[in-house]
């Protein structure tokens, strides 16, 4: 079915639901508002006034219903577009067969072969290859998990509708089911009744591992090996090179709800999913492998393994009698039974207790016998039935995904300071400068660990942080080192921030296999990052840790706070140079580097097409190693549909392979381009900070002309919106609400502000055009901004300006913003040579243009709701209804723009 027909079908079903569940009158109001909005976009002079009049006359209940209609419409349109993308992708694969489609794993390996990559170079690339996706629960997923499940069910029905051999009765049945699903969606409250708990977010992440990653990741392994067989016969890759990790339940930075007990429960939930998935797979294989021992005699190795398991549990003894000549079935049934016993283990209690304990089963107890079976059975059965399970065991183990631990440097320093006061080492560790802190830590790291019994004066907060280190030691002692990812130190400013973690880890006894990853976030910290690393590399205690980790160092760079600190252009250039400097420093000290990219969903937070971003990284900084966050709503948009998830993952793998090719490593960036970037970044930063940090009352302007305050009160995530409550500063408000609020009000300011001034400061437009044509980094920088500018709308933004209490100041500030917007737009079109934004992406350009008339009414309603809401006491009944409508507009605008924070 064509996309337009699918959207029309879903739109008609929604219209019927509105008439039936609300009233025909509500449907008529929604249609009048939609018509006025389309007329406004078409240039009708009086349409804007008509639209404002219609919205202004809505009662609170009518506003709620109309907002719900537009919000649900976008949920349905997004599903239709995703379904269409899957169909288009399948057609492309079919039409090009046997040739690979662009940006696939096969195409990447062919490119490497054609560009002269030798067998030895390819072997080295494969040895270095390590890609890890890190799921995070930052509060950018504005939709409830209950609604996500309904979205997925509608998607399944749309997928059925694309089948070409449906009978008429089957088509009608699907439409009937779609109508029922849309009705249940309409009748479900979009607003959460309470903030989601951390374990709710953990379960959401595990949902995607269960439904998508569990089957898609093994396919990537098979596809890479198939491509190697085709272009590099005889070359195999047996290591784990594509993995998952998570921050959900381990990200403590600014979130007091993530306690050590919550982390222990998170690990239990992870293990529970993995054990159940593997148990189901072994039970299925047991029924499948009913091979008679005379037809396929078992190897002696399997017989010995089986004998070691006697006496058998009662259930297995019964099967042994019944299927005595089917040893493969029995062996697999026994493994399934052992996993059943493992599922009953109270992991959380074992982790928070001090009682001795051993894990019931380790993953090698499964892979060893399965490997024996794999070597014994016919190749076809091994390839189609056993290999996927072997991959799943190797990828997910018995922990589903590694759990990273993240904590802010100031919290760690506070803990160290308090303990040192208790030990009477020093009274003012936190207030010491970085050099003095380094001196104190260096001395302590060379001394035996003290006995840290409870002593007078320790606060509950410090005890909680210390408990995390003790928990990590317990996890590694009982379940091994595979469960835990790196310890990430956010807001790292100095080597002492990292060594403080090492000190606590050493005292707790959890340094075995520990990776400590500094996170550099602000512009200054990015500039200092390589110097911080050199101090660490030359430090005796840290050098010992590195040797234990095979001289591998992970470094995380933050795209969000650097943007809020210096603006889009400056942040991206500082990030680029920081990566170059970090890579050079690691190379100097013979350290293997993995750069961990803290990207969000929006352009302002490092978002954009992942493959384009990877290929735009500095030469010689990836080298097969790539780690990136997948945050909030990005997870559902990329990984809800397994076919689209597969496409996204193969594009990532393809880009990492191509970016790591020997031919790209030594590519030099012309000095003139660097000089141009330096001058542009300086001008852009000046413009950005002049507005955001030097304009008096800018914070008040931001709070009044965006739904910032209302968003921070929404029950979106478990983490507070600011690092410390009660502090009214731009620097203290997190980057996510910073981006989210500007996106909602259609300014999209963080994704472009300052860029126009920066580009204008370059002067030489020919150089800029040359950079755009030949430098992937600069091209990606501008292409990503195009998308943001296309989604921005100064006309809609001006509606929000009318909410400001100081109208003169607000209009002056808006005039400054609009002037920069116009300059950015003009400079972009001049450099790209386009007549309009996104001209080179006509499909996306058309999608945005078609969506705008449906997003605009939600903005008009949101402005009206904000106006009314801000005049009412918080506890009033009317305010509660308006807040519910506010959530509907936030959801709808996010769905329409396909972006939150």
State the number of CA atoms in the 13 A half-sphere of 409 facing the CB.
21
pLDDT (0 to 100) of residue 654: 97
pLDDT tier at 498, thresholds 50, 70, 90: very high
Residue matched to tokens 């025909």:
24
Give the pLDDT mean for 328-357.
92
What would the DSSP string read from start to end of 422-490? HTTS-S-GGGS-HHHHHHHHHHHHTSPPP-----TT--HHHHHHHHHHHHHHHHHHHH-STTEEEEEEE
Q: Which of 65-74, 334-343, 594-603 has the lowest mean pLDDT?
A: 594-603
pLDDT (0 to 100) of residue 675: 97
Q: Sign of dihedral through CA atoms 468, 472, 473, 477?
A: positive
Beta strand 130-136 with 592-598 is unpaired
Q: Round to whole Å and give the CA distance between 839 and 850.
A: 15
Q: Round to whole Å and give the CA distance between 714 and 326.
A: 58
What φ, ψ does residue 546 adopt, rounded to 5°?
A: -60, -40
For residue 411, the surrounding DSSP H or E stretch is: helix 409-422
pLDDT digits (tens, 9 = 90+) for 814-858: 999 999 999 999 999 999 999 999 999 898 888 899 999 999 999
pLDDT (0 to 100) of residue 657: 97
| Residue 595 near residue 555, CB atoms below 8 Å | yes
User: How big is the CA angle at 246 (ends 496 and 142), to the nearest 5 degrees?
Assistant: 110
Give the pLDDT mean for 869-874.
90
Give the pLDDT mean for 667-687.
96
Residue matched to tokens 């018509």:
35
Tokens of 597: 């990219």
DSSP state of 729: -
pLDDT (0 to 100) of residue 231: 98
Buried b or exposed e, range 598-612, using 16+ CB within 10 angstroms: bbbbbbbbbbbbbbb
Alpha carbon separation from 451 to 90, 169, 412, 419, 507 (Å, rounded):
63, 75, 19, 11, 8
For residue 593, the surrounding DSSP H or E stretch is: strand 592-598
User: How big is the CA angle at 811 (ends 809 and 815), to the nearest 5 degrees?
Assistant: 115
Alpha carbon separation from 221 to 119, 129, 545, 623 (Å, rounded):
19, 12, 31, 19
pLDDT (0 to 100) of residue 610: 82
Residue matched to tokens 């992937």:
776
pLDDT tier at 605, thresholds 50, 70, 90: low
Mean pLDDT of the chain: 92
| Residue 609 near residue 558, CB atoms below 8 Å | no
pLDDT (0 to 100) of residue 618: 94
Q: Round to whole Å and give the CA distance between 514 and 503.
A: 12
Those residues with Cβ within 8 angstroms of residue 846's Cβ, 6 or more apart along the chain or in another chain: none
Tokens of 531: 């110097």
Q: Which of 330, 9, 354 is nearest to 158 (CA)?
A: 9
pLDDT digits (tens, 9 = 90+) for 710-748: 887 776 655 555 555 445 678 777 777 888 899 999 999
Is 564 among the residues known to form the active site? yes
Task: Inform me whether the pLDDT recorded for 139 exceeds 80.
Answer: no
pLDDT tier at 374, thresholds 50, 70, 90: very high
Q: Would you say how long the chain is, in residues?
A: 901
Q: Which of 564, 646, 648, 791 is catalytic?
A: 564
| Residue 363 near residue 397, CB atoms below 8 Å | yes
Q: Round to whole Å and give the CA distance between 748 and 677.
A: 23
Phi-psi region of 397 (alpha: psi -120 to 50; beta: other; left: phi over 0): left
Q: Round to whole Å and give the CA distance between 306 and 376.
A: 15
pLDDT (0 to 100) of residue 121: 96
pLDDT (0 to 100) of residue 880: 86
Does pTM surpass 0.75? yes
Task: Inform me whether the pLDDT recorded for 603 exceeds 80.
Answer: no
pLDDT digits (tens, 9 = 90+) for 5-31: 999 999 999 999 999 999 999 999 999
Q: Round to whole Å and give the CA distance between 214 and 392.
A: 7
Q: Which of 125-129, 681-685, 892-896 has the lowest mean pLDDT?
A: 892-896
Q: Round to whole Å and give the CA distance between 191 and 888.
A: 8
Beta strand 625-631 with 592-598 is parallel
pLDDT (0 to 100) of residue 360: 85
| Residue 548 near residue 588, CB atoms below 8 Å | no
pLDDT (0 to 100) of residue 143: 58
Buried b or exposed e, range 431-464, using 16+ CB within 10 angstroms: ebeeeebbebbbebbeeeeeeeeeeeebeeebeb
Give the pLDDT mean for 166-174.
93
Task: Inform me whether the pLDDT recorded for 556 exceeds 60.
Answer: yes
pLDDT (0 to 100) of residue 316: 79
Q: Which of 84, 111, 138, 898 is catalytic?
A: 138
Q: Quick one: CA torsion of 501, 505, 507, 511, rounded to 10 degrees? A: -140
Give the pLDDT mean for 591-597.
97
Helix axis angle for 327-343 and 364-376, nearest 10°, is 160
Helix axis angle for 364-376 and 300-308, nearest 10°, is 150
Q: Round to whole Å and give the CA distance between 187 and 181.
A: 10
Task: Inform me whether the pLDDT recorded for 597 exceeds 80.
Answer: yes
CA Rg value for the chain: 29
Q: Round to whole Å and give the CA distance between 535 and 497.
A: 12
Buried b or exposed e, range 366-393, using 16+ CB within 10 angstroms: bbebbebbbebbeeebeeebbbbbbbbb
User: How big is the CA angle at 752 (ends 750 and 754), to the nearest 5 degrees?
Assistant: 95
pLDDT tier at 608, thresholds 50, 70, 90: low
pLDDT (0 to 100) of residue 184: 94
DSSP state of 669: P
Beta strand 484-490 with 592-598 is unpaired
Q: Sign of dihedral through CA atoms 576, 578, 583, 584?
A: positive
Q: Round to whole Å and give the CA distance between 397 and 357.
A: 20
pLDDT tier at 633, thresholds 50, 70, 90: confident
Please tell me which residue, 296 or 665, carries the higher pLDDT value: 296
State the number of CA atoms in the 13 A half-sphere of 450 facing the CB.
15
For residue 214, the surrounding DSSP H or E stretch is: helix 214-231
Give the pLDDT mean for 90-102.
92
Those residues with Cβ within 8 angstroms of residue 440's Cβ, 6 or more apart along the chain or in another chain: 420, 425, 426, 429, 432
pLDDT tier at 60, thresholds 50, 70, 90: very high
Q: Which of 223, 49, 83 is nearest to 151 (CA)?
A: 83
């Amino acid at each position: 079915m064509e996309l337009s027909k699918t959207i029309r079908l879903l739109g008609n079903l929604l219209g019927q639901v509105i008439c039936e569940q609300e009233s025909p009158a509500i449907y008529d109001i929604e249609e009048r508002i939609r018509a006025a909005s389309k007329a406004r976009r078409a240039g009708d002079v009086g349409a804007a006034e008509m639209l404002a009049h219609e919205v202004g006359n809505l009662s609170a209940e009518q506003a709620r219903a109309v907002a719900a209609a537009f919000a649900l419409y976008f949920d349905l349109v997004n599903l239709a577009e995703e379904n269409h993308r899957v169909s288009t992708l399948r057609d492309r694969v079919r039409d090009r067969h046997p040739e690979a489609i662009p940006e696939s794993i096969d195409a990447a390996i062919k490119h490497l072969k054609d560009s002269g990559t030798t067998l030895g170079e390819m072997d080295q690339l494969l040895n270095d290859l390590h890609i890890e996706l890190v799921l995070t629960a930052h509060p950018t997923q504005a939709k409830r998990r209950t609604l996500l499940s309904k979205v997925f069910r509608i998607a399944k029905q749309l997928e059925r509708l694309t089948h070409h051999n449906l009978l008429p009765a089957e088509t009608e049945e699907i439409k009937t089911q779609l109508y029922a699903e849309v009705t249940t969606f309409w009748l479900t409250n979009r607003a959460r009744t309470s903030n989601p708990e951390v374990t709710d977010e953990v379960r959401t992440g595990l949902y995607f591992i269960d439904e998508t990653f569990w089957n898609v990741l093994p396919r990537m392994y098979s596809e890479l090996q198939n491509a190697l067989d085709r272009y590099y016969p005889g070359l195999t890759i047996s290591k784990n090179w594509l993995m998952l990790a998570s921050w959900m339940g381990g990200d403590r930075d600014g979130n007091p709800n993530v306690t050590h007990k919550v982390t222990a429960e998170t690990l239990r939930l992870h293990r529970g999913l993995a054990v159940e998935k593997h148990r189901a797979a072994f039970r299925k294989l047991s029924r499948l492998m009913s091979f008679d021992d005379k037809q396929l005699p078992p190897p002696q190795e399997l017989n010995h393994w089986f004998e070691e398991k006697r006496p058998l549990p009662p259930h297995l003894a019964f099967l042994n009698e019944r299927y005595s000549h089917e040893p493969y079935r029995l062996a697999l049934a026994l493994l399934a039974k052992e996993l059943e016993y493992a599922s009953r283990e109270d992991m959380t209690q074992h982790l928070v207790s001090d009682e001795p304990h051993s894990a019931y089963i380790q993953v090698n107890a499964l892979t060893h016998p399965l490997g024996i079976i794999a070597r014994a059975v016919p190749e076809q059965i091994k390839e189609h039935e056993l290999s996927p399970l072997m991959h799943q065991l190797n990828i997910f183990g018995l922990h589903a995904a590694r759990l990273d631990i993240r904590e802010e440097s100031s919290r760690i320093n506070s803990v160290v300071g308090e303990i040192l006061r208790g030990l009477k080492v020093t009274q003012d560790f936190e207030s010491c400068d970085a050099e003095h802190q380094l001196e104190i830590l260096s001395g302590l790291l060379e001394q035996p660990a003290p006995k840290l019994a409870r002593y007078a004066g320790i606060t509950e907060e410090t005890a909680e942080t210390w408990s995390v280190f003790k928990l990590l030691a317990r996890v590694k002692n009982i379940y091994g080192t595979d469960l835990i990812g790196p310890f990430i130190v956010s807001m790292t400013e100095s080597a002492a921030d990292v060594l403080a973690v090492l000190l606590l880890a050493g005292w707790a006894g959890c340094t075995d296999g520990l990776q400590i990853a500094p996170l550099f976030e602000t512009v200054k910290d990015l500039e200092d990052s390589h110097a911080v690393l050199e101090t660490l590399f030359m430090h005796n205690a840290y050098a010992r840790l590195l040797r234990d980790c095979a001289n591998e160092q992970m470094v995380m760079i933050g795209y969000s706070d650097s943007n809020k600190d210096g603006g889009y252009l400056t942040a991206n250039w500082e990030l680029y140079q920081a990566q170059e400097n970090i890579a050079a420093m690691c190379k100097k000290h013979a350290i293997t580097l993995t750069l961990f990219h803290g990207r969000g969903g929006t352009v302002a937070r490092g978002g954009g097409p992942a493959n384009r971003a990877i290929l735009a990284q500095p030469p010689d900084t990836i080298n097969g190693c790539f780690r990136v966050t997948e945050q909030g709503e990005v997870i559902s948009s990329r990984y809800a549909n397994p076919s689209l998830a597969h496409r996204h993952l193969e594009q990532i793998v393809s880009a990492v392979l191509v970016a790591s090719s020997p031919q790209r490593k030594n590519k030099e960036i012309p000095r003139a381009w660097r000089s141009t970037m330096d001058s542009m970044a300086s001008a852009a930063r000046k413009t950005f900070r002049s507005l955001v940090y030097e304009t008096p009352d800018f914070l008040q302007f931001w709070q009044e002309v965006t739904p910032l305050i209302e968003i921070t009160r929404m029950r979106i995530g478990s983490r507070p919106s600011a690092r410390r409550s009660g502090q009214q500063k731009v620097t203290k408000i997190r980057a996510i609400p910073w981006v989210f609020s500007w996106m909602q009000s259609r300014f999209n300011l963080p994704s472009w502000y300052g860029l126009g001034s920066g580009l204008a400061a370059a002067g030489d437009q020919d150089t800029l055009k040359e950079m755009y044509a030949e430098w992937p980094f600069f091209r990606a920088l501008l292409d990503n901004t195009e998308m943001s500018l296309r989604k921005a709308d100064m006309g809609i933004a001006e509606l929000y300006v009318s909410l400001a209490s100081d109208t003169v100041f607000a209009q002056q500030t808006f005039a400054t913003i609009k002037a920069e917007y116009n300059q950015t737009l003009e400079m972009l079109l001049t450099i790209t040579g386009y007549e309009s934004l996104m001209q080179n992406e006509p499909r996306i350009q058309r999608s945005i243009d078609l969506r705008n008339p449906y997003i605009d009414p939600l903005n008009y309603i949101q402005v009206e709701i904000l106006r009314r809401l801000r005049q009412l006491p918080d506890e009033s009944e009317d305010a509660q209804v308006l807040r519910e409508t506010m959530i509907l507009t936030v959801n709808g605008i996010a769905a329409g723009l396909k972006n939150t924070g």
